């Protein structure tokens, strides 16, 4: 079969409906390994889409998601019909991940990537005490809160939105720095930063008030400091049906539908 996306790799989450869809699509369209594919079709929910994007983020391979999971904000509608035509007509969205570099209480360094957000959370019943620097300059000497996060435009409608963070258009060169249940300063609602910013979160009194750092689903506990920045050298290509692009969905979220 000729065409831009002649070789299709199908990958699926562990849910029964995703596995069933995977079997039917492979029987209908054939399939190959992701390493040999022109395009990867991910079957599942948003969590599986994030997993697939992370697994392929250094390959440059486009990923087309079809919803066979719980939440499908990052997915296209599932339909077995005319898949090759849908892939040919699909519109690309390019996103870049965040890289989190965390140092724990034992002095060990940890590096993880995130597509949605990097969050810094309290580990116990006590609020975290955090110092925030942007590009090496102190911007908040002390934040007492459940935590703080840095979110990408793609992640701005996920956890960031649930804690009252701003929605960012997908192509805007911005990051959201958003507090999680802030206690002091009580009126601080966060900041919008250029996507070239280097954010450092230092933990004040980590022995008494331990803190964990999470890059999407990768967690590091008992951290002393967390450095967060966007890695523009890595580009991930997501494909969406015309009229249902990620920027259109994010725009709709701003109007509540």
Q: Give the residue numbers marked as catalytic.
A: 46
CA distances from 54 to 22, 67, 199 (A): 20, 18, 22
Label the pairing between strands 8-12 and 39-44. Answer: parallel
Beta-ladder partners of 155: none
The CA distance from 94 to 100, in Å, is 20
* β partners of residue 111: 101
**Of 147, 202, 203, residue with least CA distance to 177:** 147
Residues with Cβ within 8 Å of residue 98, at least 6 apart in sequence: 113, 114, 115, 117, 118, 150, 152, 175, 215, 228, 229, 230, 231
From the number of C-beta atoms within 10 Å of its C-beta (0-12, 13-18, 19+), residue 25 rates as: buried
Structure tokens at 194: 């250029």
């Amino acid at each position: 079969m000729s065409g831009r996306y002649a070789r299709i790799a199908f990958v699926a989450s562990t849910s029964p409906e995703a596995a069933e869809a995977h079997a039917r699509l492979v029987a209908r369209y054939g399939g190959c390994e992701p390493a040999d594919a022109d395009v990867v079709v991910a079957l599942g929910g948003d969590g599986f889409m994030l997993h697939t994007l992370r697994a392929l983020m250094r390959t440059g391979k486009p990923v087309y998601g079809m919803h066979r999971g719980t939440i499908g904000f990052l997915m296209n509608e599932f339909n077995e019909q005319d898949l090759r035509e849908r892939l040919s007509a699909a519109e690309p969205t390019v996103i870049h991940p965040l890289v989190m570099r965390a140092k724990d209480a034992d002095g060990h360094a940890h590096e993880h990537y995130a597509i949605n957000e990097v969050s810094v959370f309290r580990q116990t019943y006590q609020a975290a005490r955090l110092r925030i620097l942007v590009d090496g300059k102190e911007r908040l000497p002390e934040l007492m809160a459940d935590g703080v996060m840095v979110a990408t435009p793609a992640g701005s409608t996920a956890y960031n939105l649930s804690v009252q963070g701003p929605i960012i258009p997908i192509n805007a060169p911005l990051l959201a720095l958003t507090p999680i249940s802030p206690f002091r300063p009580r009126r601080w609602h966060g900041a919008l930063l250029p996507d070239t910013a280097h954010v450092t979160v230092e933990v004040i009194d980590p022995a008494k008030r331990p803190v964990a750092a999470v890059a999407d689903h990768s967690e590091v506990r008992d951290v002393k400091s967390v450095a967060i920045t966007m890695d523009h050298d890595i580009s991930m290509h997501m494909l969406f049906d015309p009229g249902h692009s990620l920027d259109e969905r994010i725009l709709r979220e701003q109007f509540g539908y």
